[in-house]
């Protein structure tokens, strides 16, 4: 009988990934496969290497003086650390949303149009307008700002600014969205909105999110990776990790007993 392959190839395959900052080894020997169209949460105690691992996926660690990344990172089977890969172009495929929303001190429109203009993604003005609208819609912000596109972006609420920077990332048509504690400066309502949005976005994108909130990881992620002192201790379906962690360090961390 013919076998039907139902398993999708991973979006990212990391093998033996280590990151050093000078002499300090922040991540060691990480092997991880990340699925497309899913949410992967990176959790673990402060300083365990979550943000460092997140930055591995778009080579952002290279922007840090003294940082060195070793190992293999394949995205759709291509080695993203190969000399032929331009990290700036890579970052158009792998967008990033940071902890604190930091829109440019320009209009709402110009914030979203920035990436497409820089990378020549929309030639005609009408095309650019449509792309800005599409990105703002996808980020769940269009209805709130459609009559105020010339408003300075910093005058939006923090929750709106976070969705604006998400729209800015979406405007360059990435495959992957990296999020570093995107809800840490949001109130519960803005957090719930962002989580609903992530649930929607994962139908199209590979989303990797660093979070300190166990409840958030449990709510939104399909898989969870638990890091400890730069090592990947456990990586599995989120419901399994939260109901039956196989490592006592994971268990202590998710139950708040971590010392
Ligand atoms: N630019 C840097 N230079 C030197 N060391 C760094 C740098 N960035 C991070 N580190 C160190 O690498 C380790 C991992 O840092 P990282 O920010 O990845 O951890 P994290 O798990 O995201 O922490 P947190 O939850 O507190 O944000 C930490 O010990 C940190 O001090």
Average pLDDT over residues 180-187: 90
Show the domains of the chain with their CATH numbers: 12-254 (3.40.50.300)
Lowest mean pLDDT among 148-152, 194-198, 225-229, 254-258: 254-258
Q: Are strands 176-180 and 94-97 parallel, antiparallel or unpaired?
A: parallel
How would residue 6 be classed by pLDDT, with cut points 50, 70 and 90?
very low
Spatial contact of 94 and 178, defined as CB atoms under 8 Å apart: yes
pLDDT digits (tens, 9 = 90+) for 130-178: 999 999 999 999 999 999 999 999 999 999 999 999 999 999 989 999 9
User: Which helix (DSSP H) or strand (DSSP E) does residue 79 occupy?
Assistant: strand 78-79
Ligand 1 is surrounded, with C-beta below 6 A, by 21, 24, 26, 44, 46-52, 64
Cross-strand pairs, 34: 12
What is each CA distance from 242 to 202, 222, 236, 250, in whole angstroms?
21, 11, 10, 9
**Taking Cα atoms as reference points, which of 89, 19, 20 lies closest to residue 56?**
19
DSSP one-letter code for 137 = H
User: Which helix (DSSP H) or strand (DSSP E) does residue 42 occupy?
Assistant: strand 39-43
Spatial contact of 45 and 212, defined as CB atoms under 8 Å apart: no
Nearest-CA residue for ligand 1 atom 4 is 21
pLDDT digits (tens, 9 = 90+) for 47-101: 999 999 999 999 999 999 999 999 999 999 999 999 999 999 999 999 999 888 8
pLDDT at 124: 78
Nearest-CA residue for ligand 1 atom 25 is 46
Q: Which of ligand 1's atoms lies nearest the C-alpha of 21?
A: 4
Angle at CA of residue 182, ends 236 and 18, nearest 5°? 50
Nearest-CA residue for ligand 1 atom 17 is 51
Q: How far is the CA of 87 from the centre of ligand 1 (A)?
A: 21
**Taking Cα atoms as reference points, which of 146, 173, 175, 141 lies closest to residue 157?**
141
How does the average pLDDT of the chain come out, rounded? 93
The strand ranges marked E within 159-230 are 176-180, 206-210, 223-228
Cross-strand pairs, 13: 33, 74
Give the position of tokens 């002499």: 23
DSSP one-letter code for 62 = G
Nearest-CA residue for ligand 1 atom 29 is 47
pLDDT at 185: 85
Complex ipTM: 0.98
């Amino acid at each position: 009988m013919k076998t039907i392959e139902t398993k999708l190839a991973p979006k990212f395959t990391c093998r033996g990934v280590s990151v050093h900052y000078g002499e300090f080894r922040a991540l060691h020997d990480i092997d991880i496969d990340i699925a497309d169209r899913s949410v992967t949460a990176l959790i673990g105690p402060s300083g365990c290497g979550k943000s460092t691992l997140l930055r591995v996926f778009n080579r952002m660690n290279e922007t840090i003086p003294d940082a060195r990344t070793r190992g293999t990172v394949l995205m759709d089977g291509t080695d993203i650390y190969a000399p032929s890969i331009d990290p700036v172009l890579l970052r158009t495929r792998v967008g990033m949303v940071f902890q604190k929303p930091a829109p440019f001190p320009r209009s709402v429109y110009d914030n979203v149009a920035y990436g497409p203009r820089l990378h020549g993604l929309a030639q005609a003005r009408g095309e650019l307008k449509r792309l800005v609208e599409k990105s703002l819609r996808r980020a769940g912000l269009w209805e709130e700002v459609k009559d105020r596109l010339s408003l300075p972006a910093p005058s939006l609420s923090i929750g709106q600014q976070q969705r604006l920077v998400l729209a800015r990332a979406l405007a360059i048509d990435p495959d992957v969205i990296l999020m570093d504690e995107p809800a840490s400066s949001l109130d519960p309502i803005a957090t719930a909105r962002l989580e609903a949005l992530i649930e929607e976005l994962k139908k199209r994108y590979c989303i990797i999110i660093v979070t300190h909130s166990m409840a958030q990881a449990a709510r939104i992620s399909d898989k969870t990776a638990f890091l400890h002192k730069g090592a990947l201790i456990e990586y599995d379906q989120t419901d399994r990790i939260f109901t039956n962690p196989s490592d006592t360090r994971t268990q202590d961390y998710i139950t708040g007993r971590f010392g």
